[in-house]
Amino acid sequence: MHGKHILLGVTGGIAAYKSADLVRRLRERGAEVQVVMTDGAREFVTPMTFQALSGRPVRTDLWDPGAEAAMGHIELARWADLVLIAPATADFLARLAGGRADDLLATTCLATGAPIALAPAMNQQMWANPATQANVAVLKERGVHVFGPGTGDQACGEVGAGRMLEPTELAALADSTLVPSGVLSGRRVLITAGPTREPIDPVRFISNRSSGKMGFAVAQAAREAGAEVVMICGPVALASPAGVRRVDVESAADMLAAVQAEVRPDDIFISTAAVADYRPAQAATQKIKKTEESLALQMARTTDIIGTLAAGQQRPAFVVGFAAETDTVEQNARTKMLRKNLDMIAANEVGHDKAFDCADNELIVLWRNGRKLLPRSAKTQLARELVELIATVIAERRTEASRAAPLSANATKA
């Protein structure tokens, strides 16, 4: 959301007090926020509150002589990258569905070409009323986004659907609604992240120390760079980055099946997952009892996900692997890249409190005719640098291919 313009409309509901926190959450994500309040909203929260939080004078009046001398509602409509109405009362839903232009907020909604999102907030019976539901259906048909409402206790003492979603939820949804622009705009990125768990019996499994933090950071960076991002992850305790579609899996076999179901020929595939190399050959169907002094497990190889993908008919356009090594890091990584026919590999040293479950990391990135060291930094920053490098290498290949095409054509003619 860095540098994005969010026009936040606040209408006359008790949930308007939450909108002040929403301004903070949007600005934390880097957005610029302009608040427009209806007359009803000013009965609950003062414009001064929103001015202090947004750093901008609050707009309230369609008939403001100073603002409308320059067609202020048109200016607002053009300024916005997203119009978010929170709370959106039943009255405002009805007016917007009816195409009314009787106050500044409604007029701006009619005049904008930006996406519009609504966060409904009202009594549960008002939300369930057929008239409200009909208005919501009309708005959805027109492409308006509807966030929520949530369900729970209401200010009137009743319980049910109609609560405005919390500010953190709304900020994340707003983020995912915006169409990002960046070096991967128009591209689709498929990422694997986290560990896998290979069952020994119904209560035990073999796994590893991967937290998934690097993969989640790469997913966030790819989304920030404008890509459509799908993430397939093993068992991790991390929240999904905004705007990223997530598929949860357990074992290496589950991850392979999910990858094969999702992959497309034009994808950028980034395999950050720490997939188990071996699994128990036969998982017990019941809990293994502690009866013997020792227990021997027969282990079998798991299918190599990235190797299978890079060598198969479903090969993505660009394949990036990760190599977690405890010794001779660069040599082992280069061997892995060549053996598995990868386009790029990011290598890092693990063990001795390095990489796994840490907030920072360091990468040696290798590709067929290049090498770059990404110095130790926070994984979020490191991920952005890696995504930038991937985009650069892809662009260079595209340029090389376009230069080679005329030469091939001339050779054919000759």
Residues recorded for the chain:
414
DSSP of 358-406: -SEEEEEEEETTEEEEEEEEEHHHHHHHHHHHHHHHHHHHHHHHHHHHH
Run of H or E including 5: strand 5-10
Answer whether 207's CB lies under 8 Å from 194's CB: no
SS3 percent helix, strand, coil of the chain, rounded to 5, is: 40, 25, 35
CA 361 to chain centre: 21
Per DSSP bridges, beta strands 204-206 and 198-201 are antiparallel
The single-letter code of the amino acid at 195 is P
Q: Alpha carbon of 55 to those of 16, 33, 170, 305, 321: distances in Å?
A: 18, 8, 20, 50, 44
What letter does residue 351 receive in the DSSP assignment?
Answer: B
The dihedral region occupied by 309, where left means phi > 0, alpha psi between -120 and 50, and beta the remainder, is: alpha
Answer whether 62's CB lies under 8 Å from 51's CB: no
What would the two tokens of residue 142 be?
């027109």
**Tokens 């609050």 belong to residue:** 58
Residue of 269, 206, 220 lying closest to 29 (CA atoms): 220
Answer whether 374's CB lies under 8 Å from 397's CB: no
Looking at 109, 156, 233, 358, which residue is catalytic? 156
The single-letter code of the amino acid at 301 is R
Cis peptide before 241 (omega within 30 of 0): no
Most distant CA pair in the chain, distance: 88
Active site residue 109: no
What letter does residue 7 receive in the DSSP assignment?
Answer: E
Rounded distance between C-alpha atoms, residue 352 and residue 320, angstroms: 25
The single-letter code of the amino acid at 391 is A
Residue of 258, 253, 252 lying closest to 273 (CA atoms): 252
Positions annotated as catalytic residues are 156
